[in-house]
Amino acid sequence: MAKIRPLGIYAFLYLAFLYVPVLFLPIFSFNDSAIVAFPLKGITTQWYANLWSDDAMQGALWNSLKVAVASSLVATVLGICGARALTRYRFPGKAGIAALIMLPLVLPEIIIAISLLVVLLQLGFSLSLFSVTLGHILMSVPFSIAVLSSSFEGFDRSLEEASLDLGEGPAATFFRVTLPIVAPGILSSLLITFTISLDEFIVAFFLSGTEPTLPIYIWSQLRFTAKLPNVLALGSLLLLASFLLLSVAEVMRRRAVRRAGAGTSGGFL
C-alpha cells in the first residue's frame, strides 16, 4: 500500500476546497425544493424545464452569445497579429509593448470597467452590447496572445521557405503550411476568449445598458428566492459548457505545440 504523504493530503484538501462548492450547484439544481438546504427532498428536472420557457433568460443568453462570438473573433485576430509580431520580429520597445499588452491580465476588472465607462461616455457612445464587446476584447487579447504565442514560438520559418523552395507561392504556402500548423492554436484562442466573454460580469455590468448579458441576468435573479433553483440549473449548464470548451481549447493548444515541432511546454492552462 502506498504511503500517505503530507503533500498528498495537502493536494487533496486543496482540490476539495476548489471544487466541492462548485459541485453543490449541480446537486441542488436537481433538488425538488425551492429552498437550497440539506436534506435533499427528491429529484426533479423541473428547474431545467423552467429555463426552457424563460424568455428573459433566453434573451440574455442570446445577448451573451452575440458578444462572445464577436469579441472572441476580434480578440483572436488581434492576438494573431500581436503574437506574430512578438515571436517573429524584433523592434524597439518590444519588451515594454509586450508588457502593456499583457497588463489587462492583472489589472483589476473593476478598474477596466470604470475607465472604459468614463471614456465611452466622454466619446458620446451610448451603452449597448457593442460597448460590452469592446470591453471584452480588451480583456481577451492578452489571453489570446498567451495561447497563440506558444504555437507561434515553435513555428519554424524554414518550413515556409521550404514550401517556397518547392515551387509554391506565398498564398499557397500560407494555406498549405502556415495555417494547418497554427490552426489548432487559433481554435484554442477562439474557445478561450469565447469562454472569458461568456462568464464575464463586472465589465458587462458597467457597460451593458439595457441589454443584460447572461451573468447580469443571473445576478438580477438572485434577489428572488423562488427563482434561485432556476439559477442553479442555469449555472450547472454554464459550468458544463465552460468545462467542455476549455478542455477542447487545451487539447487544441497541445496539438498546436506538437505540430509546430516543439516539445511539450508548460502551457496556459
Partner 1 sequence: MNDRIIIEIDRVTRKFGSFTALDEVSVQIREGEFFSLLGPSGCGKTTLLRQLAGFDDPTSGAIRIDGQAMVGVPANRRPTNMVFQNYAIFPHLTVEQNVAYGLRRLRLDGQERERRVKEALVRVDMAHLGARRSNEISGGQRQRVALARALIMRPKVLLLDEPLSALDKKLREQMQVELRHLQRAVGITFILVTHDQEEALTMSDRIAVMFGGRIAQCDRPENIYQQPRSRAVAEFIGGMNFLDAAILSESEDVIEVDVAGFGRAEVRKPAGAYFNGSGLTIGARPERMTLVYDEEAGHNRVVAGTVVEASYYGDMTYYAIAIESLDRPVVVSMRNTIGRRSLAAGEKVQVGWSPESLVPLV
Strand partners, 257: none
Q: Identify which of residues 172 and 222 has a Cβ nearer to partner 1 in the complex.
A: 172
Using rule CB under 8 A, residue 265 touches partner 1: no
What is the C-alpha to C-alpha distance for residues 135 and 107, in angstroms, rounded to an integer? 13
Write down the least CB distance from residue 167 to partner 1, Å.
4
What is the C-alpha to C-alpha distance for residues 188 and 15, in angstroms, rounded to an integer? 25
Choices 79-87, 94-102, 214-222, 257-265; region in contact with partner 1 by CB under 8 A: 257-265
Write down the least CB distance from residue 155 to partner 1, Å.
10
Task: Select the residue interacting with partner 1 from 244, 261, 265, 269 (CB under 8 A).
Answer: 261
Write down the least CB distance from residue 166 to partner 1, Å.
3
Write down the least CB distance from residue 180 to partner 1, Å.
5
Rg (CA), the chain: 22
What is the C-alpha to C-alpha distance for residues 134 and 39, in angstroms, rounded to an integer? 45
Q: Identify which of residues 84 and 258 has a Cβ nearer to partner 1 in the complex.
A: 258
Binding string, residues 131-170; x marks residues near partner 1 by CB under 8 A: -------------------------x-xx-xxxxxxxxx-
Residue 54 Cα to chain centre, angstroms: 25
In SS3 terms, 202-231 reads as HHHHHHCCCCCCHHHHHHHHCCCHHHHHHH
Positions in 176-215 near partner 1 (CB under 8 A): 176-177, 180-181
Q: Identify which of residues 121 and 162 has a Cβ nearer to partner 1 in the complex.
A: 162
All three cell numbers of 106: 492583472
Q: Identify which of residues 66 and 255 has a Cβ nearer to partner 1 in the complex.
A: 255
Phi-psi region of 167 (alpha: psi -120 to 50; beta: other; left: phi over 0): left
For helices 109-122 and 129-153, angle between their N-to-C axes, nearest 10 degrees: 130
All three cell numbers of 201: 460580469
Write down the least CB distance from residue 264 to partner 1, Å.
12
Write down the least CB distance from residue 162 to partner 1, Å.
4
The site for partner 1, by CB under 8 A, has a size of: 20
Angle at 194 between CA 119 and CA 202, to 5 degrees: 40
All three cell numbers of 117: 465607462
Task: Please give the DSSP secondary-structure letter assigned to residue 261.
Answer: T
Task: Please give the DSSP secondary-structure letter assigned to residue 104.
Answer: G
Q: Identify which of residues 109 and 168 has a Cβ nearer to partner 1 in the complex.
A: 168
Write down the least CB distance from residue 187 to partner 1, Å.
14
First vs last C-alpha separation in the chain: 32
Q: Identify which of residues 94 and 176 has a Cβ nearer to partner 1 in the complex.
A: 176
Q: Identify which of residues 42 and 169 has a Cβ nearer to partner 1 in the complex.
A: 169
Is the CB of residue 161 less than 8 Å from the CB of residue 178?
no
Distances (CA, A) of 102 to 29, 82, 125: 38, 11, 26
Write down the least CB distance from residue 248 to partner 1, Å.
19
Using rule CB under 8 A, residue 258 touches partner 1: yes
Contact residues for partner 1, defined by CB under 8 A:
156, 158-159, 161-169, 176-177, 180-181, 258-261
